[in-house]
Amino acid sequence: MSVSKRFSLVDQEKSDQETPGVDRGAELLAAATSVFAQKGFHETKVSDIVAAAGVAQGTFYLYFKGKGDVFFRLISGCCERILDQMHQASAIQQQVTTAEEARQNNVAFLVGVFRMLESEQSVLKLILADPGGIDPAIDKMLAGLREILVEQERQNLQAGIDAGYLRALNTTIIAEAVVGMVYHLSFERFVRGRDLGVDLEKLAEEIVSFERHGILKPPPVK
């Protein structure tokens, strides 16, 4: 490469990095999300990502070590946002004292998560399309996310039992079942594109209703 060409690239990378008000890292993440969704992880090259972002290739390495690093950052960011919503809802859940308050909080939490997932369908497809084998760190992170979600749900159930508005039950099994149900419905809705005939609010209400009441009709009021 000629000296003039090399310095031209350096100048371009510096311009990419220092443009006021522009977050190049975020632009690269957005571009990577689109390219991964179109080509898959293995077929994507760093050159594809920088071309989609419209920056010099050297700029990419100012923010990321490689395409695996980008992939990890995309998935970890989505996982962190899910956990943030879970922690907020759980903090409220620990304070409720009635079944109706718990129901409202659970519905609000699920609606919030579903809306977030709807806005990040490209990333969600990367997560739920079984990226196993791409990076052991990603596999470990996703397994850890599920464990955290199950444990938090178990704690919420136990809080309901302790408060007296939930019956005694095996909180571990029910927590696994609830998280599994939400996982499956999220896959169907946001990855496979099945709307299931309901909007997000109704979907959340049906999940919470099933969790709280099962499928049996309530006994007649005497």
Give tens-digit pLDDT for 126-137.
777 655 566 788
Given this model, what pLDDT does residue 15 score?
A: 45
Q: In whole angstroms, give the CA distance from residue 50 to residue 60.
A: 7
Residue-range definition of the domain harbouring residue 123: 72-213
Pair (38, 135) in one structural domain:
no
- 150 and 77: one domain? yes
Comparing CA positions, the residue from 86, 95, 98 lying closest to residue 212 is: 98
Tokens for 12, please give them: 């371009």
Determine the distance from the C-alpha atom of residue 81 to the mean position of all C-alpha atoms in its chain, rounded to a whole number.
6
From CA 56, how far away is CA 18, in angstroms rounded?
13
- Count of structural domains, the chain: 2
**Same domain, residue pair 98 and 145:** yes
Say yes or no: 166 and 96 in one domain.
yes
Flag whether pLDDT at 178 surpasses 70. yes
Q: Global pTM?
A: 0.76
Q: Which tokens belong to 9?
A: 């690239």
Cα distances from 222 to residues 80, 81, 131, 167, 213, in angstroms, run: 49, 47, 54, 22, 19
Long-range contacts of 182-191 (CB under 8 A, 24+ apart): 182/110, 182/113, 182/207, 183/128, 183/146, 186/114, 186/117, 186/124, 186/128, 187/128, 189/114, 190/117, 190/118, 190/121, 190/124, 190/125, 190/128, 191/121, 191/124, 191/125, 191/128, 191/129
Same domain, 44 and 78: no
Q: Which two tokens stand for residue 172?
A: 């571990």
pLDDT digits (tens, 9 = 90+) for 4-52: 444 343 344 444 444 444 578 899 999 998 898 888 888 889 999 999 9
